[in-house]
A and B are shown apart, each in its own frame.
Chain A
Amino acid sequence: MTKTPVIQLENVSKIYGRGRAAIHANKNINLTINKNEFVVIIGPSGSGKSTLLNLIGSLDYPSKGTIKLDGQNIAQLDESELAQIRGQKIGFVFQSFHLIQSMTALENVMLPLTFQNMSAGEKQKRAINILTKVGLKSRMTHLPGELSGGENQRVAIARALANNPEVIIADEPTGNLDQSTGKKIMDLLLNIYKKEGKTVIIVTHDRDLVNITKSEKVYKIVDGELV
């Protein structure tokens, strides 16, 4: 099997603030992620993991270096092209779910499709399909406040999958969940990697979960640098 690079980082740095107060959140990172890999990023708190995921997910521009997504340098894209990439190629999953509280599970999953100009019927069909796949068929009309943590994270994963992106990026997806629920979420993400052929990039603190993934691609980041 030939390896197709999806994400390439070359000498990427991210600096927050300026002058004496500047924080070098990421320093000189070189990283290539190929299609259908399961990548785990670990590291202590404040080491720059989230910063790195945001850059990979084109949520932010790097201060230095180049980031290529499918061979395209994201520094050359403007705000709306970047938004299109986030909408079409990337699916985000966050530690605290980041669902819109006033919308039902179904509406949350349909929202990314709205920004892609999809017809109402098509949106609904797709969202129902994905929610069924993550095991929430009976919970679709519930608001996030009426669902458990694990269920919320399933909704978030369904939302990340809605536009059928190449890459799923999950920043501590189990951080707010108990051990066994966290394991189920991790299984779900593994399934997405194995059965759907997606590229999955996760950040986690949990050593046990890292072991479950049996991933060959585990990167450690310390003080903003890959080690």
Chain B
Amino acid sequence: MLRDYFLVAFNNLRRRKLRSWLTVIGIIIGISAIVSLTLVAQGTENAVNAAFEEFGTDVILVQGGATFSRPTPGEYGLENKDIRFFESFGEVDIVIPYVYDTQEVEYKDEKKYPIVYAIDTELWGEFLGRTNFEVEKGRNLQKGETGAIVIGWKLNQDYFEKKVDLKSRIKVSGKTFKVVGIYERVGNDADDTSIAMAIEDARKVFAPPGKVTGAQMIVKDGVNIEEFVKELEEEYEDYRGDKNFIMSTSTAILEQINNILGIIQYVIVGIASIALLVGAVGIANTMYMSVMERTKEIGIMKSIGATNRAILTIFLIESAFFGIVGGIIGCIVGIIMAIGAKLAIEFFSPGLPFLILIDPKVIGGALLFSAVAGIISGILPARSASKMNPVDALRHE
């Protein structure tokens, strides 16, 4: 029986093809917006989490004289005694101090001011393991090696008018260095134009003696990092005598970012839901029009034995159809849009591990949502159709 009602309902949909499709498009827009935005938001979250995973959850970052949790170029807010202070804690495994600055860099008579950072070559491997940097050509700095640099991907491209390559010689702050390695593309210009060198070299050329920009502390296994960082922060404040530093853990930063991403996700899904609501109103509108136009048919069907329930079912099938078909096509369009966004992001920022997972929860939820929207928007029109008096309906022209 239900099968026959489907046939009757589809007969009606087929008859008003253009209008049916326009109604479905309303739902497609709403659902595809919800699906694509949710998938992109999830992908962003995945990318951020993956980046932090690489960085590690056992790291405490400290910047001296900084107000921002990213390194501030040219700030030398930590001294050797600060580093030794950190090292004195039993919970701390290694401290990796670093210098981070913008410097005049000259290549074949062209001058630029990229970021130059420097680390003790002894700690180089430890440091690189926690970054996006990966050597593509050449090699890393070796322990104790001086006079050598590793350059960002862009220097090997068009950063300077003449391409810098392995074995090229570059002047940093007036002193000549030899390029021994080139990093893979990271995806942001600051990293892709940067130059890495040994901290001893940096001290000789530009960095003030006995001072660094910041440090990464790697805590020992089994240390509760959140508790430890609180304790360390208090003790360090006492030691320094001021609050002029920033200490943060990757987990805390990750939590903050995920909170913000979560809010953004709710906001965009909320906005996309308005589109779906408009689509649902479109269904209700189409259904009312369809009930009006088919008043006489409703009378005919009742005169040949259709119950109110049968009429209700036929009209609800129609409105559910709008919702379900709109939902299916909307999901497909949404997935395609999300993949398009992923490709665009990868193009502009290739290093980012931006992963779009076709989350079955999102797809299932969207389909359910659209079917429910279709049925709900059909309830009132279908009820008014089913309640019609057959004699009046038959008189309708």
Which among B300, B301, B303, B310 has the highest number of chain A CB atoms within 10 Å? B303
Interface residues of B in 283-330 (CB under 8 A from A): 296-297, 299-310
With both chains docked as a complex, state the minimum distance between the C-beta of B225 and any C-beta of chain A, in angstroms.
69
The answer to whether B303 touches A98, judged by C-beta atoms less than 8 angstroms apart, is yes
The answer to whether A92 touches B304, judged by C-beta atoms less than 8 angstroms apart, is yes
The answer to whether B300 touches A100, judged by C-beta atoms less than 8 angstroms apart, is yes
Give per-residue flags for A107-123: 1 if the beta carbon is below 8 A from chain B beta carbons, else 0.
10001101111001000
- A86 and B390 alpha carbons, distance in the complex (Å): 11
Residue B1, interface by CB 8 Å: yes
B contact residues around A103 at 8 Å (CB): 11
The answer to whether A98 touches B296, judged by C-beta atoms less than 8 angstroms apart, is yes
Residue A80, interface by CB 8 Å: yes
Number of interface residues of B (CB under 8 A): 26
- A54 and B305 alpha carbons, distance in the complex (Å): 14
- A119 and B103 alpha carbons, distance in the complex (Å): 86
Give per-residue flags for A50-76: 1 if the beta carbon is below 8 A from chain B beta carbons, else 0.
000010010110000000000000000
The answer to whether B305 touches A86, judged by C-beta atoms less than 8 angstroms apart, is yes
A contact residues around B300 at 8 Å (CB): 98-100
Residue B57, interface by CB 8 Å: no
The answer to whether B307 touches A114, judged by C-beta atoms less than 8 angstroms apart, is no
Interface residues of B in 1-41 (CB under 8 A from A): 1, 3-5, 8, 11-12, 15
Q: Give the B-binding residues of A (Cβ under 8 A).
A: 54, 57, 59-60, 79-80, 83-84, 86-88, 92, 94, 98-100, 102-103, 107, 111-112, 114-117, 120, 159, 163
Q: What are 20 A-B residue pairs whose CB atoms fall within 8 Å in the complex? A: A54-B391, A59-B390, A59-B394, A60-B389, A60-B391, A79-B308, A83-B305, A83-B307, A84-B305, A84-B307, A88-B305, A94-B394, A102-B12, A102-B15, A103-B11, A111-B301, A114-B5, A115-B301, A116-B305, A159-B304
Known: A59-B390, A60-B390, A83-B305. 14 other contacts (CB 8 A): A60-B389, A80-B309, A83-B302, A83-B307, A83-B310, A84-B305, A92-B303, A92-B304, A100-B300, A112-B304, A115-B301, A115-B305, A115-B307, A120-B4
